[in-house]
Structure 1
Amino acid sequence: MNWKTQLRLSTLVLVLTYTMIRCTTVSKPNDYQNTELSAEERATDLVAQMTLQEKVSQMRYDAPAVPRLGIPRYNWWNECLHGVGRAGEATVFPQAIGMGATWDTNLMSEVATAISDEARAKHHRFVKEDKRGIYQGLTFWTPNINIFRDPRWGRGQETYGEDPFLTSSMGVEFIKGLQGDDPKYLKLVATAKHFAVHSGPERSRHEDNYQTSDKDLHETYLPAFKAAIKEANVQSVMCAYNRYRDEACCGSNLLLTNILKNEWGFDGYVVSDCWAINDFYMEGRHGVSATAPKASALAVKSGTDLNCGDTFDPNLSEAVLKELIDEEEVDQALIRLMTARFRLGMFDDESLVPFSEIPYSVVASEKHLGLSRQAALESMVLLKNEGNVLPLSKELKSVAVIGPNANDKQSLLGNYHGTPNNQITPYAGIKAKLPNAEVRYAKGSDVATGWPLLSLIPAENLQSNGKKGLSAEYFPNANWEGKPSISRVDEQIDFVWMKEKPIKEMVSDTFTVRWSGKLIAPESAKYRIGFRACNNAKVFIDGEKKIDFNDDHKPVMKYYDMDLKEGQAYEIQIDYYNFHTDPQAQLLWAKLDEDLLTPAKQIASESDVVVLCLGLTPDIEGEEMPVVLEGFDSGDRSDIVLPAAQRKLLNEIVQIGKPTIVVLMNGSAVAVNEAAAKVPAILEAWYPGEFGGEAIADVLFGDYNPGGKLPVTFYQSVDDLPDFKSYDMSNRTYKYFEGTPLFPFGHGLSYSSFSYEDVKVSETSAGENMTVSATLSNTGAMAGDEVVQVYVSHKENNPDAAIRTLVAFERVHLGAGESKEVSFEIPAERYADIDEDGKRIKESTRLRLSVGGKQPGMEGLADAATTSVVTMDVEIK
């Protein structure tokens, strides 16, 4: 027996001995069940009755049951970024960046309330069915309030944009809507993530060490988190993967102890990003801890209470026994976790918890679907409308809808999405809008060179026992064992099981499917065979495993490229394993190097108008992805231009000479310089949710007047950007960028026009609130929304100050010819300059203030500007 084995056996003996001692010293067994006590008192009593091993087991995300204390198993991992994610049917709203583009805090509150209604209803149904797995709880790892400082970051789509105040405002309303306003019980627990200096690159996030000035830290990276705690009372914070100032964020005394707890008074719990604690000690990563027990001790002592991962259990027990950490520190961490569970009502009769009465019928209800439609409409940003080419006439005889995003359902959803009942693409939306016109569709190009758009493999290309399709066997277990509950032929593998699982008598969510048969290509070529799933699956071709999923917790598509010969039958087998509530499976393919351009040019030449749907997809931009293509790197982008395949498509279509409208669908800013120069109109639609295509059609044909504004700067080139790994804010975002943007932060056109008059600023002394008011008028012929934006600048007094800073905004609806007074009370904390130490300078000064529907000084960047700006100097006495 070697020394390592002896050490582990000795440790095990100590743990078991300690457990037996603790089990004999139980006191006050019923206090934690007393609903008259506070949640913290109940949590403290419950933790006092637990053994060390039991405590540690409750500090991992998939906490097991403790039957002797009546603690059911609980999985802390849930997502609801723009709708309840990965838990069956749900209303899917626009991706977070699209919500940011609405600049509508009231809408944000309504959306979050709808999401939390659906989450509560789902959870109580799950509990009644004794389902307590991943994505079935009440603690949600949302929202992402990191600052989208660089358009290359693939996860920027999850944020509300590049501005700290806009992000703070939207995040606060979202958190409030999730957590509810009951004085005793939380509706959900929201989680502000990722604390704190975190926004890519994805490839190196497990090893990077970022540095910033105190000014950048307090001006850019911390405000949204501070607002989440101080204004929204968020109950959970997720720490980031990377290091900041040499400390791992999940083991940072500066971030978690000094700032979060001591300075801001945060009294909730901190959860690690998933497997982030492993990065403390794994080779080639942070190297801040030598072993897993030391990493566990460092994380908990610094303030991380919950481990998404497998480091704490059992290593935290070993850390206590080796006196690397006191058990009292473990107790305090667990008390915070159990306090949250008590505040959610998890140990109380449902009759006492008001949110338990929310009926399941709210899920994907007409009210919520209507809200998703409204959010999609408000997220639309009209970037260009030269010659007022938009809105288009509904009397058009023919329209060509072209592009890789024109009829792609995935491009509606973005990442971290739920499973919608509707997926209305731009092609479907335009076709429904013009029932009497000829509306035709063509892909036109791949999304990017080397990344074709895959489609379902048709039934005629699948064969089983002489029938079209694949033989399917469905088993009510995890191992494809015994006699299948269902045996049939599935013509296509295209399943999203939501309200009912394929085996109706099942109680558990666990089931398996085996599809088998032959794959037959219609012509000889190289093909990409793809499989999309949200669980575990393997695809075998001619007996060899070609695609392998490894318990993925999110919908992903994996693929294999191979040469297929015309008419030859290839044996195919798919083993699919479902273990939670979002089962889906699709068998897809595409012929590589297919001529997609010729048919697109053909329908364009035969149509009155071309709608060109371009952009990106969540399959190539997102969180730490195995995608390396020209312009793309592991979920991020290495270039910000439109992919080359789409640029070629754009140029070829424009040369045909038909009126061409570009619709962008993407999660981050794209340098569409050629489109800006060559087409008369560009509409930014983001990843717009389940009604995205309908909203796009409503805007294009004038049934809705666009009012969204950019929450990020659209740069002209990657050459405009600093090093991706530099977190210095110099020359970043609208606040510090010294170049000329393609489209500026805050930009967005309308079919109407708006003017500002009678702008007034109150006499203000240093440290006092400032009041700003103006009369806003809709001077156009169409009702519409205007986003009033107030900026201040200290640049004349301080060369190191931001060029300008957003300090107030409001989205206002006005009828044609209508006027309204808008007024803002702006706290000194918000309009004050900030020094190099990160402190707000509240003293007499002179600042420049602007009120309007965009940033000042950007008039030459947008054709047919539809809003104005009033600028003035203001003395702070």
Structure 2
Amino acid sequence: MAAAAAAEHRDAPPADAPPADAPYRDPARPVAERVTDLLGRLTREEKVAMLHQYAPGIPRLGLAPFKTGTEALHGVSWLGEATCFPQAVGLGATWNRDLLRRIGEAVSTEVRAFHRREPPEGRARISLNVWAPVVNPLRHPLWGRNEEGYAEDPLLTAALATAYTRGLRGDHPQYWRTAPTLKHFLAYNNETDRCTTSSDLRPRVLHEYELPCYRGPVEAGAVAAVMPSYNLVNGRPNHVGSHLADHLRAWPNGAGLLVCSDAEAPSNLVAAERYFDDHAESHAAALRAGVDSFTDHGEDPSVTVRRITEALERGLATEAEVDAAVARQLTLRLRLGELDPQLDPYAGIGPEVVDCAAHRELAREAARQSVVLLRNAPRPGGGGPLLPLPPGAKLAVIGPLGDDVLRDWYSGSLPYRTTLLDALRDRLGAASVAYTDGLDRIALRSTSSGGYLTADARGLVSATADAVGAAEEFAVQDWGHGVCTLRAADGRHLTTDGYGVLAATADHPDQWVVQETFRLERGTDGRVRIQHLGSGRWIAVAAGSGALTAYAASRDQAEPFALRTVSAGAERAARLAAEADVALVVAGNDPHLNGRETEDRTDLSLPPHQEEALRAAHAANPATVLLLTSSYPYAVDWAERTLPAVLWSAHGGQEGGRALAEVLLGDHSPAGRLPQTWYRAGQRLPDLLDYDIIGSRATYLYLDEEPLHPFGHGLSYTSFGYGEARVDRAELPADPEARITVTVRVENTGDRAGDEVVQLYSRAVDSRVPTPLRRLQDFARITLRPGEAREVALTVPVRALGHWEVAHDRWTTDPGDYELLVGASSADLRSRARITLTGPAPLPRPALGTAVPARDFDDCAAVRLVDRTRERGEAVESGGGAPGVLVFRDCDLGSGAAGVTLAVSRTAPGAAAVEVHLGTPVPGAAPAAVVSVPSTGGRYAWTEVSAAAAVPGGVRDVHLVLRGALRLAELRFTP
């Protein structure tokens, strides 16, 4: 009786609760009206508290505790078992909008099931604000987080992100199933020093390459939020950058976007980046820039509350800015049905949907569609292509990834693992499929104790064994660059117990700071010392017990071990391959090692031991297939030249092994296509921090060398023929709102059903500025039976043929001739049509009496882009070494100029000057003007300096040579 009374009291509204007919409680009223009413009922303290990721509940208003952020990149992450789909880069390889939408539906449905669980007292439910997808274009193959993006092309990235977010959002006109968040805005493709590096983003790259990845899904109306990235852009941290307001929230459907900070990024503004002097100042700037939810200090909101309160008290921030942020949060919560549970169409979703049969089948379909056949040559000795595998073939599966399924940092807990070995044996029988992991087995004997390392039944490792048996053998997995893992006979990985004691108890490397990696260093004495990479300490042997510990502070204190190779993995691989009809070598990466969040790769090579096992297998059996399972591209030149078949798939999740087996056995014809360029070994790559894809000739858009495999590449078990490309209009005005339809007949000319990805590219025939060699404009994945043909219609907006015009700070499409090219990849273009756009000739750049922003150059050398003020504007900086060069083409100087004026700032001592040249500087020729630049006392202390110049009129190229360390914001020719 007392318990019932207590429950009734707890469910009753607080005494000061608003009336039941308060406007915010009425679901029939517009969302904006409800938000305004609710906002007016909050105290300032309550509103400030809501700005932290973990917002407290406000019982008097019926608001429950709320948090932003549930990871859902390719399945629900970090919350327990959930359906695990292929990595995002694998989903990118499907080139399938409809599939991505269905996966988004499945993932968001499972998020809803987790959300329905009752949280602990006072805690928020699992958030329906999902932090996915990642839409950073895969500009550089060495980026550690390559696995998280969809493609190196902005159109493909935007198309797949739009499809995924539509699935996450749901189709209800009023209520959202989940609220998707795009990550990570902006120009974020490096892990090295990611919190302090600045990405130089010239306007053309910003508007043509980076922004389209975000604009597509935002304008589609399926995005609720965005997360800024850790890095700076043009010298300014993204969390206080003006791009949030100037672009994202200025687009259609972007005004109400919630901005969630990345973890600890608000503190980084002072701590790591030293961009502001104190946290009140930095938090006020972030709030002004548009950050609405501060992800900082874990679940403790007190630090954020204190900083923002101080900012308000010091007049650095206003309550109106707080109100704007809270209003966006409340809008999102209303969209998710928080205050209308009786009307929320998704409120009844229960746990039965998690890893249900339909989601398992969808995961299998996604894994199948993501497999890319890179090479498929005739069988050694003659005959047709090696794949699909010949019926009745005896197979050898080689490599530890052949009998494992690996997660990445954003994978969910796998409900089950289906390995390739399991799948093949299920289909063909164990007798037809032999297996070896191809790893070296070693024994290590302690110099101090004389005993061999051994693992007991509990996994504890000690140097106490007198002889070498199974328990004393450790398999060494070399991941390259001196990083290896060690596995005991039962397959468990050597790790630490949290106190520095080593034990073979880990299933896989699977922590933020990996504890399962080691470096084996052989000294001049022939002995091996072992470093535990997670702690940086060295392995020692405890006196008496012989236990292994990571206690030694230096190599000199490390235990020397005698290493004995019990069996060589490459030799076992060769023996097994020789006994098989076909050898399947499975190679690739562990997503937690050597290329992951916080760690970029240093090269494109396979780990040496994987390459060794592959070559040994091929030497023993020419019918050797390389199956790459990886988060990123490899430079596998030798395999491409030598092996009859090579396939790639990203880590495929719980159904990856079964899907790959079905492709190998011919149940399904592979139709995945590469979402990024695969480079050759030794091929020129731009610096990881060089974001100027135009100047560095990067990605398939500008690459003028032949790569190992081009963007869009992928083979099939059947063949497809292309007819003539036809356009609905061969000549039309350069109207950005117009669209061109390209139709092509595609026929399956082979003897089996299959999917083809029809790709449409464009090229400007004679462009006045550097433009892409080819640019993806549309694509369609279609299924055709043998002999079946289909008319495929693809569209190109005229606007998409254009570029960002730096001379006029706008998008423009030039009149002239353009080619529209249709084919099976960016390099396999089967059919083309030409169109002509008509219109007036482009206008020159106004320069006389008009300020020309320095950042709007056409070309440059030895300069970088920087911030003009802490919150807005951009400038160009020369460092004082090699002279900086800026080129401004086609400047309209009218009837001539008498002088030039520059807006500059400078802190360095000594002389500095800017030379103004008309046309390309000629050695020995005097510049048109030389403008001296004095020290101004600070990087943001801007002043104007001038010099006389006799500049003839007309349209001319202007070259500036910056000598000395200085900043330049504008130049202006004076009449």
2:177 is aligned with 1:187:
yes
TM superposition shift of 1:47: 3.1
Q: In 1, are the aligned partners of 2:17 and 2:60 still within 8 Å (CA)?
A: no
Counterpart residue number, 1:351: 342
Does the residue aligned with 2:38 lie in a helix, a strand or coil? helix
2:638 is aligned with 1:674:
yes
Q: Which amino acid aligns with 2:390?
A: S
Counterpart residue number, 2:250: 262
2:173 is aligned with 1:149:
no
Counterpart residue number, 2:94: 102
2:822 is aligned with 1:851:
yes
> 1:809 and 1:306, CA in 2 relative to 1: closer, same or farther beyond 3 A?
same
TM superposition shift of 1:592: 10
Deviation sequence 1:66-95 (CA, Å, 0-9, x none): 334333222212111111111122111111
Larger radius of gyration: 2
Does the residue aligned with 2:723 lie in a helix, a strand or coil? strand
Does the residue aligned with 2:90 lie in a helix, a strand or coil? helix
Does the residue aligned with 2:593 lie in a helix, a strand or coil? coil
Unaligned runs of 5+ residues in structure 2 are 1-13, 298-302, 379-384, 443-452, 466-470, 477-484, 519-531, 533-537, 551-562, 839-975
Pairs within 5 Å for 1:14-53: 30-53=22-45
For residue 204 of structure 1, the aligned residue among 178, 183, 193 is 193
Identity of aligned residues (%): 31
Pairs within 5 Å for 1:351-750: 351-387=342-378, 388-396=385-393, 398-410=394-406, 413-435=407-429, 437-445=431-439, 468-469=457-458, 522-523=471-472, 538-540=497-499, 558=516, 561=532, 595-625=568-598, 634=599, 636-717=600-681, 719-729=683-693, 730-750=696-716
Counterpart residue number, 1:496: none
TM superposition shift of 1:819: 0.5
> 1:530 and 1:125, CA in 2 relative to 1: closer, same or farther beyond 3 A?
farther
> Structure 2 length as normaliser, TM-score?
0.71
Deviation sequence 1:824-855 (CA, Å, 0-9, x none): 23222223344346743334320111111122
TM superposition shift of 1:740: 1.2
Q: In 2, are the aligned partners of 1:526 and 1:563 still within 8 Å (CA)?
A: no
Unaligned runs of 5+ residues in structure 1 are 1-22, 450-459, 470-491, 493-515, 575-590, 626-633, 860-867
> 1:42 and 1:214, CA in 2 relative to 1: closer, same or farther beyond 3 A?
same
Q: In 2, are the aligned partners of 1:846 and 1:875 still within 8 Å (CA)?
A: yes
Q: In 2, are the aligned partners of 1:754 and 1:776 still within 8 Å (CA)?
A: yes
Does the residue aligned with 2:834 lie in a helix, a strand or coil? strand
Counterpart residue number, 2:83: 91
Partners in 2 of 1:364 and 1:524 — Cα distance?
38
Q: In 1, are the aligned partners of 2:454 and 2:461 still within 8 Å (CA)?
A: no
Q: Which amino acid aligns with 2:169?
A: Q
Partners in 2 of 1:203 and 1:64 — Cα distance?
36
2:222 is aligned with 1:228:
no
Bigger RCO of structures 1 and 2 (CA < 8 A, at least 6 apart): 1
Counterpart residue number, 2:553: none
TM superposition shift of 1:186: 1.2
Counterpart residue number, 2:870: none
TM superposition shift of 1:804: 0.7
Q: Which amino acid aligns with 1:289?
A: F
Pairs within 5 Å for 1:277-356: 277-282=266-271, 285-310=272-297, 312-348=304-340, 350-356=341-347
Q: How many residues align?
A: 744
TM superposition shift of 1:38: 3.0
Stretch deviating more after TM superposition (35-44 or 102-111): 35-44
> 1:307 and 1:718, CA in 2 relative to 1: closer, same or farther beyond 3 A?
farther
Counterpart residue number, 2:726: 760
Does the residue aligned with 2:638 lie in a helix, a strand or coil? helix
> 1:236 and 1:540, CA in 2 relative to 1: closer, same or farther beyond 3 A?
same
Partners in 2 of 1:598 and 1:32 — Cα distance?
72
Stretch deviating more after TM superposition (705-714 or 606-615): 606-615
Q: In 2, are the aligned partners of 1:530 and 1:558 still within 8 Å (CA)?
A: no
Q: Which amino acid aligns with 1:844?
A: P
TM superposition shift of 1:794: 0.9
Partners in 2 of 1:597 and 1:517 — Cα distance?
27
Counterpart residue number, 1:806: 776
Partners in 1 of 2:410 and 2:564 — Cα distance?
28
Q: Which amino acid aligns with 1:432?
A: D
> 1:133 and 1:672, CA in 2 relative to 1: closer, same or farther beyond 3 A?
farther
TM superposition shift of 1:130: 6.2
Stretch deviating more after TM superposition (792-801 or 109-118): 792-801
Counterpart residue number, 2:158: 168
Stretch deviating more after TM superposition (149-158 or 818-827): 818-827
Q: Which amino acid aligns with 1:90?
A: A
Q: Which amino acid aligns with 2:351?
A: Y
TM superposition shift of 1:230: 0.8
Q: In 2, are the aligned partners of 1:795 and 1:801 still within 8 Å (CA)?
A: no
Deviation sequence 1:131-155 (CA, Å, 0-9, x none): 9558x22010100001100000011
Partners in 1 of 2:475 and 2:712 — Cα distance?
45
Partners in 2 of 1:74 and 1:554 — Cα distance?
25
Deviation sequence 1:430-478 (CA, Å, 0-9, x none): 222311643122222489x9xxxxxxxxxx9766xxxx54xxxxxxxxx
> 1:538 and 1:831, CA in 2 relative to 1: closer, same or farther beyond 3 A?
same
TM superposition shift of 1:361: 1.6
Q: In 1, are the aligned partners of 2:474 and 2:486 still within 8 Å (CA)?
A: no
> Structure 1 length as normaliser, TM-score?
0.79
2:817 is aligned with 1:832:
no
TM superposition shift of 1:261: 2.0
TM superposition shift of 1:795: 4.8
TM superposition shift of 1:614: 0.8
Deviation sequence 1:757-800 (CA, Å, 0-9, x none): 14211114122210100111000001000000000001533451
Pairs within 5 Å for 1:234-249: 234-249=223-238
Partners in 2 of 1:220 and 1:619 — Cα distance?
29
Q: Which amino acid aligns with 2:833?
A: M
> 1:182 and 1:622, CA in 2 relative to 1: closer, same or farther beyond 3 A?
farther
Partners in 1 of 2:565 and 2:195 — Cα distance?
36
Counterpart residue number, 2:382: none
Q: Which amino acid aligns with 1:870?
A: S
Q: In 2, are the aligned partners of 1:854 and 1:869 still within 8 Å (CA)?
A: no
Stretch deviating more after TM superposition (782-791 or 24-33): 24-33
Stretch deviating more after TM superposition (236-245 or 822-831): 822-831
> 1:565 and 1:390, CA in 2 relative to 1: closer, same or farther beyond 3 A?
farther
2:834 is aligned with 1:873:
yes
Partners in 1 of 2:455 and 2:205 — Cα distance?
57
TM superposition shift of 1:351: 2.4
Partners in 2 of 1:446 and 1:746 — Cα distance?
37
Q: In 2, are the aligned partners of 1:557 and 1:619 still within 8 Å (CA)?
A: no
Partners in 2 of 1:184 and 1:771 — Cα distance?
34
TM superposition shift of 1:49: 2.8
